[in-house]
Chains A and B, each alone.
Chain A
Amino acid sequence: DIVMTQSPDSLPVSLGERATIKCKSSQSVFFSSNNNNYLAWYQQKAGQPPKLLIYWASTRESGVPDRFSGSGSGTDFTLTISSLQAEDVAVYYCQQYYSSITFGQGTRLEIK
């Protein structure tokens, strides 16, 4: 299985400030035949299922605010929230779908 590792585990950020979450995969999730990274980001609030934010590492899901952006390729990826809003408090997971499905351990984003 591809192991996904996120950092940090917990991230306190002030409102209006930038939040950056890292994700590393144990092997590349880049598929050269279609030039895509099989990496997604989800947001999960308490008592809810995960919500898809980003796929193909950098494609924002419809309806997701443009303060959310994804970047990276191969084994190293980043989710950035450019200006933290109160409603962004949640746990964020990266997930690879290159070989089956595995999730990172999650990053808990909180207000400083």
Chain B
Amino acid sequence: QVQLVQSGAEVRKPGASVKVSCKASGYTFTAYPIHWVRQAPGQRPEWMGWINTGNGNTIYSEKFQDRVTFTSDTSATTVYMELSSLRSEDTSVYFCARPRQYIDWLLDFWGQGTRVTVSS
């Protein structure tokens, strides 16, 4: 069965960086992109971008373009999201999600989420 398992909660100081992992299993890793979505407390989910796990190409939301990097390790079937220059407003739960086959923007499998807290 499809599973996306994310790394554990992180606490960072403002200005630092954080790297979150998302290990995929139960399907052909390179056949599907992985999206990243974050959700601040009590807020709507916010799309950050995606990575094509087949060729490493990325598309980033304009909001995060300058601060986020997605990478993919095919041998480990793992995708990484690194966010830099953290500020308090980045305190959120970060999710990775896999889309439906042939519908690249419809998210139907989600990781459990990784809580990132930014606090001095």
Residues of A21-55 contacting chain B, CB below 8 A = 38, 40, 48-52, 55
Q: Which of B45, B95, B112 has the largest count of A CB atoms less than 10 A from its CB?
A: B45
Is B44 a contact of A40 with CB atoms below 8 Å? no
* B80 on the A face (CB < 8 A): no
Complex interface: chain A residues within 8 A of B107 (CB): 50, 52, 95, 101
Cβ contact within 8 Å between B108 and A103: no
Asked if A49 contacts B112 (CB within 8 A), the reply is: yes
Q: Contact: B110 with A40, CB < 8 Å?
A: no
Residues on B lying within 8 angstroms of A by beta carbon are 35, 37, 44-47, 61, 95, 97, 100, 103, 105-108, 110-113
Q: Give the residues in chain B near A95, CB-CB below 8 Å.
A: 45, 107
Complex contacts, B110 vs chain A, CB 8 Å: 49-51
Which A residue's beta carbon lies closest to that of B99? A97
Q: A55-B100, A105-B44 are in contact. Are A100 and B111 (CB under 8 A)?
A: no
Write out, one digit per residue, whether chain A residues 73-112 have a CB within 8 A of any chain B CB (1) or not (0): 0000000000000000000010101001111111000000
Q: How far is the CB of A83 from chain B (nearest CB, A)?
A: 25
Residues of A with C-beta under 8 A to B108: 52, 61
In the complex, 25 of the A-B residue pairs with CB atoms within 8 angstroms, ordered by the A residue number, are: A40-B106, A48-B112, A49-B95, A49-B97, A49-B111, A49-B112, A49-B113, A50-B107, A50-B110, A52-B107, A52-B108, A55-B100, A93-B44, A93-B45, A95-B45, A95-B107, A97-B103, A97-B106, A100-B61, A100-B105, A101-B37, A101-B105, A103-B45, A104-B44, A106-B44
